[in-house]
Amino acid sequence: MGPKPSLRLVRQGIEIVVLALTVASFSGCSPHPNTASPAVQQQTAANATPWWKHALIYEIYPRSFQDTNGDGVGDINGIIQRLDYLQGMGVNAIWLTPIYPSPLADFGYDISNYEAIDPLYGSMADFDRLVADAKSHHIRVIMDMVLNHTSDQSPWFIESRSSRNNPKRDWYIWRNGKGPGIPPNNWQSDFGHSAWTYDATTKQWYYHKFYAAQPDLNWHNPEVQKAMFDACRFWLDRGVAGFRLDAIPELFEDPTFQDEKILPGKNAFGDPNEDQSRTENLPEVHEVMRQLRKLVDSYPGDRVLIGETYLSNIQEQLMWYGKNNDELQLPMDMQVGFINKLDVDQFRTRINEAETGLNGNMPLFVFDNHDNERSWDRYGDGKHNAAIARIVATLLLTTRATAMTYYGQEIGMVTTPPKTRAEVQDPVGKIGWPKDKGRDGERTPMQWDTSKNAGFSTAVKTWLPIPPSYKTVNIQVESGQPDSLLNWYKQLIALHKNNPAIHDGQNIMVDASDPNVLSYLRKNPGVGPSVLVAMNFTSKPHTVAYALQTQGIQGSTATALLEDDGMSKTVDLNHVMLPPFAVFIGAVQ
Ligand code: NOJ
């Protein structure tokens, strides 16, 4: 189960491009197979589009990507080894979940030193080589930055907890309890139960939005702000392309420390359901975002800030770009990817909102990450999962949004949760077992080939078991199958990069009251034909008649740009028959 109540609900139910213009802003890059078509180059060069717009960003969970030293845990050299694969797929940037020194209470999201590499993953020299080699593969590297909290083993926290008078006492959030054994207020941790832990040495409680081993920093303290901005500078100086900001809406807490309001029902941990308005999305966070944006903008090469922003509506989403577009360039939009059922109406509404409700800013769509069951399981019906995975890929790669994917999504890796409590690695699973088996299931090693340990590692035992599906679901096997999910992704990525309408055209919903088929037009921005995307979200065939004249489409046929089972190459727009869960992507003019 995920780390936040919102994630819980969700569960239940790549840098470096390389458009011509990206090349320009990414010194040292030369044209390569992923370079955009001349039409897209022409169009984008005119607007000086920053590389991250329309990019494909690929999340790597380093522990699970590729092990090169045989200890059963992935490492930096493993990522370097797989750069050819990532480049071949068309990845523009990789986001690495944390590889800083950490006691691993939350597998790296508990950092004990922000300016070093954990030896488990390699050395600083390995990291520098990764950035350089990635660059020669036209891939940028984005670091995860955990600003909200540190490890309880951080020297800062060790000092802070040592006495009430320690100069670092105020770097964290300490409060007196309401009485013996009673925490300061009713605030709850996203990992279950009270967000306060009592410390016997100084007889006060410290606040942690997440695990007790992840004490929250006090962002009202200017020294904390300086230390964290210094950490960001350290990595920007080493050439990272930007940051994915962990748990960023949680940065500030209400300074009155009053109880949260209790809403009806219970949360996923069986605790009272709190409204969280005193611990999430406090207005102060926006000033920090503006300062951080100034910092990244002071570096060349269009460095980017991506936010881990689970928000409930488009108005909240818009706020994260900043009133003057001076905060995050890419707050993640989790409202589309985590609908968690193929509901045409919801997808239509939310994609449309992202198109029209963000002041022209770029949405960032995400369907998968290391905190949620894989989309294969969240969207699959158990019978048509392979076809549904193609729909998910299409939704990710054919709207105007920047696309973020997660290793293994391209081959259809499935969630493989631990079978027994003893096998669980994730603290969330340890707390939540058996109701909540934690997040190990979506973090299993990448399935590269049919060899031992799926080509991930030569170890006798890998840190998480290799899912049995690896014999058929792997990069090697799927590369050789023209109709595999992997090849579907590759074709979509090529369209996303090279087709001007899909790359940057307007996104207009058509046939907009159809409850079974989601259809949109990616409207030609002036170069080449427009593109009709249609997806049958049901297990029954459906026929659609499109009236596209009002959109300036005079032709009566569409020509498929990539072929899905059972669909013909050319279709009559008055009679488009979509078999169950079929996808049609075709040029219209
Ligand atoms: C969000 C991260 O994605 C998750 O893995 C982590 O447990 C929490 N933030 C706490 O850092």
Q: Is 144 near ligand 1, meaning CB less than 6 Å away?
A: no
Q: What single-letter DSSP state applies at residue 298?
A: T
Q: Over range 427-448, report the average pLDDT.
A: 94
**For a pocket test of ligand 1, which of 11, 114, 246, 404 has the largest count of ligand atoms closer than 8 A to its C-beta?**
246
Q: Are residues 461 and 325 in the same domain?
A: yes
Q: Which atom of ligand 1 is nearest to the CA of 439?
A: 5
- Assigned token pair, 276: 């969280």
Comparing 35-44, 292-301, 361-370, which segment has the lowest mean pLDDT?
A: 35-44
What is the predicted pLDDT for the residue at 25? Answer: 34
Q: Is 191 near ligand 1, meaning CB less than 6 Å away?
A: no
Of the candidates 75, 308, 426, 478, the residue annotated as catalytic is: 308
Confidence of residue 354 (pLDDT cuts 50, 70, 90): very high
Q: Is 371 near ligand 1, meaning CB less than 6 Å away?
A: yes
What are the pLDDT digits (tens) for 533-573? Answer: 999 999 999 999 999 999 999 999 999 999 877 788 999 99
Q: Are residues 335 and 405 in the same domain?
A: yes
* CB proximity list for 451: less than 8 A, separation 6 or greater: none
Q: Is 355 near ligand 1, meaning CB less than 6 Å away?
A: no
Please name which of 71, 60, 49, 18 lies closest in space to residue 457, comparing C-alpha atoms.
Answer: 71
50 lies in some domain: yes
Q: Is 118 near ligand 1, meaning CB less than 6 Å away?
A: no
Q: Which atom of ligand 1 is nearest to the CA of 146?
A: 11
Q: Is 310 near ligand 1, meaning CB less than 6 Å away?
A: no
Radius of gyration of the chain (CA): 24
- Count other C-beta atoms under 10 Å from residue 47's C-beta: 11
Q: Which atom of ligand 1 is nearest to the CA of 210?
A: 10
Q: What single-letter DSSP state applies at residue 149?
A: B
Q: Does 5 score more than 50 pLDDT? A: no
CA distance 397 to 496: 6
Question: Which segment, 207-216, 518-527, 561-570, is predicted with the most confidence on average?
Answer: 207-216
Q: What are the Cα distances from residue 159, in Å, to 22, 164, 169, 233, 237?
A: 45, 10, 7, 24, 28
308 noted as active-site residue: yes
Q: Is this prediction's pTM over 0.85?
A: yes
- Count other C-beta atoms under 10 Å from residue 341's C-beta: 11
**Gap from CA of 410 to ligand 1 centroid (Å):** 23
Contact between residue 361 and residue 325 where contact means Cβ atoms under 8 Å apart: yes
CA distance 210 to 191: 5
Distance of CA 152 to the CA centre of its chain: 26
493 lies in some domain: no
**For a pocket test of ligand 1, which of 10, 150, 210, 216 has the largest count of ligand atoms closer than 8 A to its C-beta?**
210
What is the predicted pLDDT for the residue at 369? Answer: 98
- Assigned token pair, 337: 């990817």
What is the predicted pLDDT for the residue at 37? Answer: 53
Q: What is the mean pLDDT of the chain?
A: 92
**End of a domain among 207, 239, 272?**
207
523 lies in some domain: yes
Q: Are residues 433 and 541 in the same domain?
A: no
**Gap from CA of 97 to ligand 1 centroid (Å):** 9
What are the pLDDT digits (tens) for 54-90? Answer: 999 999 999 999 999 999 999 999 999 999 999 999 9
- Assigned token pair, 267: 């949360």
Q: Are residues 197 and 340 in the same domain?
A: no
What is the predicted pLDDT for the residue at 528? Answer: 78
**For a pocket test of ligand 1, which of 6, 107, 109, 244 has the largest count of ligand atoms closer than 8 A to its C-beta?**
109
CATH number at residue 337: 3.20.20.80
Q: Does 183 score more than 70 pLDDT? A: yes
One-character DSSP codes across 198-260: EETTTTEEEE-SS-TTSPBB-TTSHHHHHHHHHHHHHHHHTT--EEEETTGGGS---TT-PPP
What is the predicted pLDDT for the residue at 21? Answer: 27
Segment holding 366, helix H or strand E = strand 364-366
- Assigned token pair, 23: 């090349």
571 lies in some domain: yes
**For a pocket test of ligand 1, which of 371, 373, 406, 440 has the largest count of ligand atoms closer than 8 A to its C-beta?**
371
Q: Over range 374-403, report the average pLDDT.
A: 98
Residue closest by Cα to atom 6 of ligand 1? 109
Confidence of residue 24 (pLDDT cuts 50, 70, 90): very low
- Count other C-beta atoms under 10 Å from residue 214's C-beta: 26
Q: Is 109 near ligand 1, meaning CB less than 6 Å away?
A: yes
Peptide bond preceding 529: is omega within 30 degrees of 0, i.e. cis?
no
CA distance 85 to 441: 24
Q: Is 247 near ligand 1, meaning CB less than 6 Å away?
A: yes
**Gap from CA of 509 to ligand 1 centroid (Å):** 35
Q: Which atom of ligand 1 is nearest to the CA of 109?
A: 11
Q: Please, what is the Cα angle at 404 between 485 and 522, to 5 degrees? A: 80
**Residue in the structure block whose two tokens are 């190459």:** 569
Q: Does 20 score more than 60 pLDDT? A: no
Confidence of residue 143 (pLDDT cuts 50, 70, 90): very high
What is the predicted pLDDT for the residue at 23? Answer: 26
- Assigned token pair, 435: 């109701």
Of the candidates 118, 152, 246, 504, the residue annotated as catalytic is: 246
CA distance 391 to 395: 6
Q: Does 421 score more than 80 pLDDT? A: yes
Segment holding 159, helix H or strand E = helix 155-162
65 lies in some domain: yes
Residue closest by Cα to atom 11 of ligand 1? 109
Please name which of 214, 227, 208 lies closest in space to residue 168, comparing C-alpha atoms.
Answer: 227
84 noted as active-site residue: no
Q: Are residues 268 and 296 in the same domain?
A: yes
Q: Is 61 near ligand 1, meaning CB less than 6 Å away?
A: no
Confidence of residue 29 (pLDDT cuts 50, 70, 90): very low
496 lies in some domain: no
**Gap from CA of 569 to ligand 1 centroid (Å):** 44
CA distance 234 to 243: 12
**End of a domain among 488, 519, 548?**
488
Interhelix angle 38-47/485-498, nearest 10 degrees: 50
Q: Are residues 584 and 478 in the same domain?
A: no
Q: Are residues 469 and 557 in the same domain?
A: no
Q: Is 368 near ligand 1, meaning CB less than 6 Å away?
A: no
261 lies in some domain: yes
Q: Are residues 256 and 177 in the same domain?
A: no
Q: Are residues 177 and 107 in the same domain?
A: no
Confidence of residue 531 (pLDDT cuts 50, 70, 90): very high
Confidence of residue 270 (pLDDT cuts 50, 70, 90): confident
CATH number at residue 202: 3.90.400.10
- Assigned token pair, 381: 């019906």
Q: Are residues 437 and 370 in the same domain?
A: yes
Q: What are the Cα distances from residue 362, in Å, to 55, 434, 442, 501?
A: 11, 40, 27, 16
What are the pLDDT digits (tens) for 446-460? Answer: 999 999 999 999 999
**Gap from CA of 573 to ligand 1 centroid (Å):** 46
Number of domains in the chain: 3
CATH number at residue 551: 2.60.40.1180
14 lies in some domain: yes
Q: Are residues 202 and 256 in the same domain?
A: no
Q: Is 388 helix (H, G, I), strand (E, B) or coil?
A: helix
Q: Over range 18-38, report the average pLDDT.
A: 34
Please name which of 245, 413, 268 lies closest in space to residue 329, comparing C-alpha atoms.
Answer: 245
What is the predicted pLDDT for the residue at 563? Answer: 82
Longest CA–CA span in the chain (Å) reads 77
Q: Are residues 234 and 109 in the same domain?
A: yes
Domain that holds residue 580: 506-588
